[in-house]
Amino acid sequence: MTESQSPLYDGFKEILKNIDPQRVKDVLSYMRTEAINFNLFKNGAFIERKFPFDVIPRIVSADEFAYLDKGIQQRIFALNLFLEDIYSDQKILKDGIIPSEFVFSSKAFLPEFMNTPVSKNIRVHISGIDLVKNSVGDGWVVLEDNLRVPSGVSYPLSLRMLTRKVFPEFFEKLPIATVTDYPELLLKTMNHVNTGGINVILTPGRYNSAFYEHSYLAKQSGAILATGEDLVVEKDKLYLKTYNGKRAKVGAVYRRLDDDALDPIAFHPDSLIGVPNIAQVYRAGNVALMNSIGNGIADDKGIYYFVPHMIRYYMNEEPILQNAPTYLAYFEKDRQHILQNMRTLVIKDVAEAGGYGVVFGCNLSKSERQNLKDAIIAEPRRFIAQEVIEFYDIECLAENGDFFARKADLRMYSLFGENITVWPGGLTRFTMDPNSYIVNSSQGGGFKDTWVLKDTK
């Protein structure tokens, strides 16, 4: 079923009808000139690759956005409380809402950071919540919470800046919410938690898949883009080294590195892209790291199952957004269900990300299914299974002017500073393969802008 057949798209289609196809080609050429890339490593080789995109946006109504806004705010608030709790009193474990062993056995839980206070008690500064719109029942379903280093925001933002120039008629005639203030929101968020000093975006460097984004956000927000080599720790404080030997104190770091790579002293000793002793500065409360160290425990695919429980536990509210029906192999009853119904389920390895480790049971051969069953029995904590969500297709425009439909999800971003702000836009990712449900950019998926319509009532 194609979402773009909804009456919500009528206004868009009416304007599109009268647009010269040459202008669509202008957009393609401009995106190339700007090197709006999402790079790939394939077979050990670096491939500079433009991020495939489509000019037809996903459109979200004002009512839908109001619902998503509330639901995401609630979810982020609860996840932040969970992280504050799990790295201090661990009440949620003591009260038996989440099995302790389930948390302690996760590699993403970092007990060495217990009782480390964070600036303004905010740990989830920037998040990306992945949702799909279920074509059965027409509701939005959360697939994943990304609370570590969610990437992607710069792509719809860059596309939006461009489409405003090439197709201004859409923005004149349709009540599309403005998204161009994202860098300003990011800066405000950084300033809110900044412990005194400059703001820095820490990038793994030019060969990272999302280097374009790091660079773009630094330029637009005014933060300094730095690699690990550019930063130095002295007496529990973090500094940016400048070309002439001076040092500028750093108060907030929007780090685009995973915990593992962040500090070769505290984490992986082989990391060449981190900053030695930055974790010590964080412990001393002398820098805000965005997002905080140890957030991985909250976006562990197994912990996802417990997010509705967290909302009830910490906030005494019913969850607004629904999870996909999920089974934890860790629980005996669920494990049996998974083993018996593997053909109809999606099985996910909780240690994987980026669309890797996601297996559709129906696509497995008999022996593959048996191997997976054995793995689940051997390491039940490592796997979850979900019902297959029949999410909507979305229309895309081919270069020859034809339309084609692909499965698409939506990543919505929120920033947690003085308040939680859900950005009225988002990254819509679509599959290139018509038979696939995997939309991830690292697996060759494309992207679209997301237009949220303003309430004109």
Partner 1 sequence: MILISPQTAENLYWMGRYIQRAETMTRLVIQSFDKILDIDPDEGTRLYAKMGVELIYKTPQEFLQKSIFGLEYASLIYTIDNARENAIVTRSHLPNRMFSRINALYLKYQNAKETLPVSIFWLESTLQELDAIWGNLELSLVEAKEIPFIEFGRITERMDLNIRLYNSMEAALFDLEKLNLLGFKLTPHYKKLSLSSSNIEKTLKKINGLYYGTVITAS
List contacts with partner 1 (CB under 8 A): 32-35, 198, 205-206, 211, 214-216, 218-219, 224-227, 229-230, 240-246, 248
Per the structure block, which two tokens stand in for 34?
Answer: 């700007």
Nearer to partner 1, 62 or 232 (CB): 232
DSSP class per residue in 370-411: HHHHHHHHH-GGGEEEEEPP-BPEEEEE-TTS-EEEEEEEEE
List, in order, residues 6 or more apart from 408 with CB less than 8 Å away.
Answer: 3, 58, 132, 391, 392, 393, 394, 428, 429, 430, 431, 439, 448
**Integer Cα distance of 341 and 133 in angstroms:** 24
Nearer to partner 1, 35 or 377 (CB): 35
Least distance in Å: CB of 22 to partner 1?
A: 19
Nearer to partner 1, 254 or 451 (CB): 254
List, in order, residues 6 or more apart from 409 with CB less than 8 Å away.
Answer: 130, 131, 132, 143, 391, 428, 429, 439
Nearer to partner 1, 68 or 217 (CB): 217
CA neighbor of 79 nearest in space, from 46, 33, 125: 125
Nearer to partner 1, 190 or 293 (CB): 190
Least distance in Å: CB of 33 to partner 1?
A: 5
Amino acid letter for position 131: L
Per the structure block, which two tokens stand in for 58?
Answer: 């996903």
Least distance in Å: CB of 36 to partner 1?
A: 10
**Integer Cα distance of 5 and 179 in angstroms:** 25
Least distance in Å: CB of 237 to partner 1?
A: 16
Least distance in Å: CB of 336 to partner 1?
A: 53
Bond from prior residue into 115 cis (ω within 30 degrees of 0): no
Nearer to partner 1, 238 or 307 (CB): 238
CA neighbor of 68 nearest in space, from 447, 430, 421: 421
Least distance in Å: CB of 79 to partner 1?
A: 30
